[in-house]
Structure 1
Amino acid sequence: MDNLSSPARPCGFPNAVTRSAVTRRAVLGGVTAVGAVAGLSACVDPSTVEASSTPATPAASGEGTVAATAAELAVGSSLSVKIGERTYLLFRPAEASVLAYRAVCTHAGCEVSVGEGEFVCHCHGSHFTRETGDVTAGPARGPLEKFRAEISGEDVLVYL
């Protein structure tokens, strides 16, 4: 019998193998590759995150909590305030509006502080915009948690 008609070599290919030879090394290599891809996905450039990842500001409900006075938060400035046990970041983009965010980094839960024209997490270098809370740099992948806020008379109110 010649090699082309041998039952151990199907389809007329002399080097074909009839049964699957899955080795332990092949399985471990596949698992390692999947783990590497999953690990590297955590290093995605935040600028590639879609704009739709920015959560909508929740509707105001209940009574607002006084976080600061309007005089303490000039137009174009930011302020870090403590309300109860938690820290919040305020930004006043215009005379009649204010934005509020929880000062907790979405990467590892470190406290975020007011930086030069942005909010910064000093633990791992994440940066967030004051206008939207979106990530602009660093390992954080999600925006800061938003809260409804407003200026009422001389007070800056945050609805928690």
Structure 2
Amino acid sequence: MTDTDTTRRAVMLGASGAGLAVVLTACGGYNSATSVDNGDSAADPAPASSAGDAAGDAAAGAAGLAKTSDIPTGGGKIFKKEKIVVTQPKDGEFKAFSALCTHQGCPVGSVSDGTINCPCHGSKFNIADGSVANGPASEPLAEKQIKVEGGSISLA
């Protein structure tokens, strides 16, 4: 093997790694109506709260997924660790669905414009009932039971 072969191999490996990074970055969606909780509290420090919010934060953290105020109206929040997405189709109405696309099991990536969106193949699901808004998925997202109580949302 020559130095030219080694250099060529290094360039090819570096280029393929850079290409992979671009593809993975492109799969992430950014939208103001979407929130994703990756379950890693060390990576996502909690925002400072006032003394009035302390009871709500304790209730949401101790027994729940989130506070109701964390879920935007017309949008939703994805909880990666729990594999669930919670939406608020109308003000005060909360729904929960599996966060795994029914097409090939990819985790959904965003919630925007009234749909839960899968980045893998473009499937979209309605935030109100989990039904398919755009394929290739042909089955709705499975509904999950949640409990909304005292400003806190928890799994039922």
Deviation string for 1:101-120 (max 9, x for gaps)? Answer: 11001010001122322111
**What residue identity is the alignment partner of 2:153?**
V
The alignment partner of 1:86 has SS state of coil
1:128 aligns with 2:125: yes
- Cα distance 1:94–1:151, how it changes in 2: closer, same or farther (>3 A)? farther
Instruction: Please report how far the alpha carbon of residue 123 of structure 1 lies from its aligned counterpart in structure 2 after TM superposition.
Output: 0.6
For the residues of structure 2 that align with 1:150 and 1:73, how far apart are their CA atoms? 14
What SS does the corresponding residue of 1:112 show, helix, strand or coil? coil
Structure 1 CA distance for aligned equivalents of residues 73 and 133 of structure 2: 22
Q: Which amino acid aligns with 2:155?
A: V
Mapped to 2, the partners of 1:93 and 1:140 lie a distance apart of 21
Give the direction of change, closer, same or farther, for the CA distance of 1:98–1:69 in structure 2 (3 Å limit): same
For 2:94, the equivalent position in structure 1 comes to 98
Which residue is 1:67 aligned to? 65
Aligned-residue offset at 1:152: 0.3
Q: Which amino acid is the alignment partner of residue 103 of structure 1?
A: A
Q: How many Å separate the matches in 2 of 1:119 and 1:94?
A: 15
Aligned partner of 2:142 in structure 1 is 145
> Which residue number in structure 2 is paired with residue 30 of structure 1?
none
Q: SS state of the match for residue 89, structure 1?
A: strand
- Conserved? CA contact 1:89–1:113, under 8 Å: no
* 1:115 alignment partner, SS class: strand
Q: Distance in 1 between matches of 2:141 and 2:120?
A: 15
8 Å contact kept, 2:75–2:111: no
Partner-residue secondary structure (3-state), 2:140: coil
For residues 118 and 72 of structure 2, the distance between their equivalents in structure 1, rounded to whole angstroms, comes to 23
- What runs of 5+ residues in structure 2 fail to find an aligned partner? 1-62
Which has the larger displacement, 101-110 or 142-151? 142-151
Q: For residues 86-143 of structure 1, what are the alpha-carbon distances to aligned partners after superposition, in whole Å with 9 as ceiling and x for unaligned?
A: 3211111344431001100101000112232211111111111001101111211100
Partner of 1:37: none
Instruction: Report the 3-state secondary structure (helix = DSSP H, G, I; strand = E; otherwise coil) of the residue aligned with 2:89.
Output: strand
The alignment's TM-score, normalised by the length of structure 1, stands at 0.53
Residue number among 113, 125, 133 corresponding to 2:109 in the alignment: 113
